[in-house]
């Protein structure tokens, strides 16, 4: 459903928002490796009128290209606990794709541990459950091999692939992001108290279907798995359907409650 809204614009170093007065829920989105907040620009007009979109911007990309990316997950999560306070003041859901899903999960855990408001729902896309192994590590590959693997995964626009300077800068950020998350180990820990929806492509080498079921150990609430035809970036070809599904579930009655 298309509605009149403001554009997705920066409001602080870490927060881009498409303000929607009178919204009932807020969807906070975490970008995949190499991506910035602008990756979610097309989502805003596709979300229901009662859902406001917030996208997280991390150092090292787009308007923060001159800043050094984080090299450890702990400090990144601690910064976000404080940096996102202004958009955690009401009912929210988190969505993350790939390493963005891992970040959304770690932030939800950190907020819960600190007694802060957390997500009422958690949408995790293309991310194996904690403790699942066997996914190929990429960050230490030689440059040519790393580039080839990144291209094979998809998700990079043709004009970027054709521009060697832009592609070179992107690969630098991608390698930093892969290093950050491939060195980090997700652990189940104390379960969350919000429903979890796991999304994935049926042919994704980064999140094989058999690595997803263990997400059920990470929450005391329901876990739903939704599979789409496609690979790691399945949602790019099915964006309207994916965003509509997430928007509908974001607005579903929060009978399970949120983490506090």
Q: What is the pLDDT of residues 6-18, one digit of tens each?
A: 699 999 999 999 9
Mean pLDDT, residues 143-151 taken together: 94
In angstroms, the Cα distances linking 56 to 18, 45, 99, 135, 220 are 12, 18, 13, 26, 27
79 Cβ neighbours under 8 A, 6+ residues apart = 14, 70
The CA distance from 3 to 48, in Å, is 8
Residue 128 has pLDDT above 60, yes or no: yes
With cut-offs at 50, 70 and 90, classify the pLDDT of residue 136: confident
Residue 157 has pLDDT above 60, yes or no: yes
**109 in Cβ contact with 192 (< 8 Å):** yes
Q: What is the pLDDT of residues 169-209, one digit of tens each?
A: 999 999 999 999 999 999 888 999 999 999 999 999 999 99
The CA distance from 160 to 31, in Å, is 18
Q: What is the pLDDT of residues 55-74, one digit of tens each?
A: 999 999 999 999 999 999 99
CATH code of the domain occupying 9-250: 3.40.50.1820
So what's the pLDDT on residue 134? 66
| Residue 27 DSSP SS3 | strand
Residue 142 has pLDDT above 60, yes or no: yes
Residue 257 has pLDDT above 90, yes or no: no
DSSP sequence for 181-239? HHSS-----S-BSS-EEEEEETT-SSS-GGGSGGGGGGBSS-EEEEEESSSTTGGGSSH
So what's the pLDDT on residue 110? 97
So what's the pLDDT on residue 255? 45
So what's the pLDDT on residue 61? 93
Catalytic residues: 98, 232
Mean pLDDT, residues 86-97 taken together: 97
Residue 258 has pLDDT above 50, yes or no: no
So what's the pLDDT on residue 252? 86
Beta bridge partners of 97: 125
So what's the pLDDT on residue 2? 42
Domain chopping of the chain, boundaries: 9-250
């Amino acid at each position: 459903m298309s509605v009149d809204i403001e554009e997705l614009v920066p409001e602080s170093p870490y927060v881009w928002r498409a303000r929607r007065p009178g919204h009932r829920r807020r969807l906070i989105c975490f970008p995949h490796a190499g991506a910035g907040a602008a990756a979610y620009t097309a989502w805003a007009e596709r979300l229901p009128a009662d859902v406001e979109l917030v996208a997280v911007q991390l150092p090292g990309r787009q308007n923060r290209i001159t800043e050094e990316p984080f090299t450890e997950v702990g400090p990144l999560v601690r910064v976000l606990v404080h940096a996102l306070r202004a958009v955690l003041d009401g009912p929210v859901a988190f969505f993350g794709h790939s390493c963005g899903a891992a970040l959304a999960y770690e932030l939800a855990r950190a907020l819960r541990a600190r007694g802060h408001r957390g997500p009422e729902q958690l949408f995790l896309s293309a991310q194996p459950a904690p403790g699942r192994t066997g996914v190929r590590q990429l960050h230490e590959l030689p440059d040519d091999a790393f580039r080839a693997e990144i291209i094979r995964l998809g998700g990079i626009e043709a004009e970027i692939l054709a521009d060697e300077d832009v592609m070179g800068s992107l690969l630098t950020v991608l390698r930093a992001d892969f290093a950050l998350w491939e060195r980090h180990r997700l652990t189940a820990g104390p379960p969350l108290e919000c429903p979890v929806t796991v999304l994935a492509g049926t042919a994704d080498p980064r999140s094989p279907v058999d690595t997803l079921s263990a997400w059920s150990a990470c929450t005391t609430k329901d876990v739903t798995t939704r599979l789409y035809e496609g690979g790691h970036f399945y949602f790019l070809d099915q964006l309207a359907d994916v965003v509509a599904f997430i928007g509908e579930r974001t607005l579903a009655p929060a009978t399970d409650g949120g983490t506090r």
